[in-house]
Amino acid sequence: MTIKPDYSQATPSDLGKVHFIGIGGSGMSGIARMLIKAGHSVSGSDVRDSKNIEELRSLGAQITIGHAAENLGDCDTVVVTSALWPTNPEYVLAQEKNLPILHRSQALKYLTTGKKLISVAGAHGKTTSTGMVVTGLKNLGQDPSFVNGGVIAAYDSSSASGSSELFVIEADESDASFLYYDTAVALITNVDPDHLDHYGSLENFEAEFARFANQSSEFVVISSDDPGAVRVTNLIKDHRVLTFGFATGSDIRLVDVDSSGPQVSFGVEYLGATYSTSLLIPGRHNAINAAGAFAVLVGLGFEPEATLQAIAEFAGTVRRFELHGQIRGVSVYDDFAHHPTEVSAALEAARAVVGSGRLVTVFQPHLYSRTRLFAKEFAQALAASDEVVVLDIYAAREDPEPGVTGALIADAFADQKHMHYVPNWDDVPAAVAQIAQTGDFVITMGCGDVYRQVPGILKALQE
């Protein structure tokens, strides 16, 4: 079992030298990058090298690949994630030395102190919505600070320190750490059931989203379409609320959505006027994300027409339908989708791009609990592909569950002719290359390490 955030640990007024255990992730590396800019000495460790780690090293961080007690050095403060195991030797030594051990949400709160905080939460759509809010603000002449869960393509970064009072973050609901921030503006993209291993029930999950909304000091932006979000809206008390979506009566209402091509176009009705635009990215779900970002910015007082055009310049985030190469007439993409609703949305957007080409989805389930709870729903969502390759489960923070493997999803497929269960990691590239034909679109999908299959798939296609 992984560690839980311990908010009884006081955050030092000065973090001094900071050591990150698991520094390579988008969120952790983003916080580390900002602490370096603020003048802190930063060190860290992770299980493998990455672009994030290379960048941090170029900024002066001392980073070791592999976890060992000696990596702590003479640090003053340790920052950890919820994905950390309590037996991690660096974590154990930090406890023995009575060092302040902060969950990453505590380090992020430290950075946001004194800022007007826009917190983006939801079961999915957070990273894109955060990127859209940041892009909109920047194109409207603002200079916000931000920490996102993924790299915003236009800025080639998941974080930055800005000069304005505005600070935009992707707030993680998976361990309820989104409740820890002093949020001014809360954006809730949806409240689709997830992380029930942590919350215990759907009622608890929704109650914590309502708590997140009610803790905001200025206003709440929330989906008018998602059933869970509608139930949460009914629990929001004494707050200014802006709803967005397709539903009649939405404060920001989506109209005329055309997601049939590589760039989704749509209009938004707001205060009796309609404003229209096209995004640089595909997908009906991205029109919805843009409507939420629009609601945040007009709620802050920005002019509607200029706001929508500012958001429209958003060019995507890394690992969201990202093209990596074309070999033998086969295009290879990667996408972060890891919940059935996300998978459906991602494949719908992909279908609009591929036209007559076949979709070959290489899916890696994430978490034993999510796979057990949603195996049937994953099979139904993935059926939008022409061919599907299912890998075994990326465990992340969970212990294995007997009988829970990727086969649960594979076996739930109605059409077994187009389902290929490949539990051996090394067998995946050859399996994909054998399936793929000229004109196909291969998409690796999941929030684990399935993206590491991309080079091997490209090589296997070449061979």
Q: Which candidate in 77, 81, 112, 127 is catalytic?
A: 127
Query: Using CA atoms, how far apart are residues 234 and 201, in angstroms rounded to an integer?
Result: 18
Phi, psi for 194 (deg, rounded to 5): -165, 165
| Beta-sheet strand order (sheet of 77-80) | 62-65, 42-46, 18-21, 77-80, 101-103
Q: Is 239 buried (19+), middle (13-18) or exposed (0-12) by CB count in 10 A?
A: middle
Strand 145-152 with 116-121, pairing: unpaired
User: Is-contact 251 219, C-beta < 8 A?
Assistant: no
Q: Which candidate in 109, 115, 116, 126 is catalytic?
A: 126
Alpha helices by DSSP H, listed for 157-312, are 196-199, 202-215, 227-233, 284-299, 304-311
> Residue 367 corresponds to which amino acid?
L
Query: Using CA atoms, how far apart are residues 130 and 168, in angstroms rounded to an integer?
Result: 7
- Strand (E) or helix (H) holding 324: strand 322-327
> Residue 320 corresponds to which amino acid?
R
Does the active-site annotation cover 459? no
CA pseudo-torsion sign 233, 235, 236, 237: positive
Does the active-site annotation cover 127? yes
Residue 134: both structure tokens together: 């940041």
Q: Which candidate in 115, 116, 135, 170 is catalytic?
A: 170
Residue 352: both structure tokens together: 């609009």
> Residue 345 corresponds to which amino acid?
A
Q: Which residues are catalytic?
A: 126-127, 170
